[in-house]
């Protein structure tokens, strides 16, 4: 099977990285000897997910290649676990203007999953029973998983992956005007990890309601990022 890096059928075909709907960033740190995936204590990040044309065929291909299969998923998502569903949904819908695309309820297993993202399609908000897996057509969804009762815990429940044991780093949101966005964060009282003008790179990091990192970058479709290196402006 040929490996296609930018399929003509992709929603984001031909677009610059900061203007694409879904990009996976892999970061290698020289001083880290092992990583924590967030699925064992301390828990936090859950998984990434890739939508495919035929799940059985894809699973068979990966099994033949020697990869261990844990479960079948069908969406293009990044999943994180959250303490309080109402607080988390409000954060992403109000602060980032995301839309709740889809909800799956797993009462027998004690958790629900909420899929948020951008863009429009005719089935927003419908359940899996009514809608099948139509939300899998979207690229770059954020899946928030809430385990029943965690909102009643007094202390922090989940681990962000940015302190020992290290693993998951952050999600990233590309914006039309990064300066205006950061000014809005100040007005809304959003907690910062890195302010826009700190350091040589014109990116910002904030904390969400559970302490996960969110990187904010400039969408270069609208204007350059304006990084500074040794006092000189450049737009890579």
Residue pLDDT, tens place only, 129-174: 444 455 566 678 888 888 787 776 766 667 777 778 777 888 899 9
Q: Which of 5-19, 88-102, 168-182 has the lowest mean pLDDT?
A: 5-19
Q: From the candidates 21, 87, 124, 215, which is the catalytic residue?
A: 215
pLDDT at 72: 52
pLDDT at 19: 85
pLDDT at 130: 46
Which residues are CB-contacts of 113 (< 8 A; sequence separation ≥ 6)?
79, 103, 104, 106, 143, 144, 145, 146
- Average pLDDT of the residues in 118-127: 56
The yes-or-no answer on residue 215 being catalytic is: yes
Which residues are CB-contacts of 176 (< 8 A; sequence separation ≥ 6)?
219, 222
- 162-207 pLDDT tens trace: 778 777 888 899 999 999 999 999 999 999 999 999 988 899 999 9
**Of the candidates 149, 199, 91, the residue with the CA atom closest to the CA atom of residue 114:** 91
Work out the angle at residue 191's Cα, subtended by the Cα atoms of residues 185 and 194, and round it to the nearest 5 degrees.
Answer: 85
Neighbours of 31 (CB within 10 A): 4
| pLDDT at position 104 over 60 | yes
pLDDT at 48: 81
User: Between 40 and 160, where is the model more confident?
Assistant: 40
The widest CA-to-CA distance across the chain, in whole angstroms, is 58
Q: Per the annotation, does 215 bind a ligand?
A: yes
Q: Per the annotation, does 21 bind a ligand?
A: no
pLDDT at 110: 84
- Average pLDDT of the residues in 28-43: 81
pLDDT at 227: 62
> Which domains are seen in the chain, by residue range?
38-159 (3.10.180.10), 169-230 (3.30.720.110)
Work out the angle at residue 50's Cα, subtended by the Cα atoms of residues 116 and 174, and round it to the nearest 5 degrees.
Answer: 50
């Amino acid at each position: 099977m040929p490996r296609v890096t930018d399929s003509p059928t992709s929603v984001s075909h031909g677009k610059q990285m900061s203007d694409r709907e879904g990009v996976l960033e892999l970061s290698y740190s020289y001083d880290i000897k092992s990583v924590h995936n967030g699925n064992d204590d301390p828990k936090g990040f859950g998984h990434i997910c890739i939508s495919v044309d035929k799940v059985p065929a894809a699973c068979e291909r990966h099994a033949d290649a020697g990869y261990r299969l844990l479960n079948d998923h069908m969406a293009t998502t990044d999943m994180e676990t959250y303490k309080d569903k109402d607080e988390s949904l409000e954060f992403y819908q109000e602060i980032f203007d995301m839309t709740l695309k889809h909800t799956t309820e797993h009462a027998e297993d004690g958790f629900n999953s909420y899929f948020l993202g951008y863009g429009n399609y005719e089935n927003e908000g419908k359940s899996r029973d009514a809608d099948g897996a139509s939300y899998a057509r979207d690229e770059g969804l954020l899946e928030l998983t809430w385990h029943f009762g965690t909102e009643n815990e007094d202390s922090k429940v989940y681990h962000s992956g940015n302190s020992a044991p290290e693993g998951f780093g952050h999600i990233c949101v590309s914006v039309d005007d990064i300066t205006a966005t950061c000014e809005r964060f100040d007005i809304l009282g959003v907690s910062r990890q890195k302010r826009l003008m700190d350091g040589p790179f014109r990116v910002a990091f904030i904390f969400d309601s559970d302490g996960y990192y969110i990187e904010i970058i400039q969408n270069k479709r609208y204007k350059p990022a304006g990084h500074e290196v040794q006092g000189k402006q450049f737009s890579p």
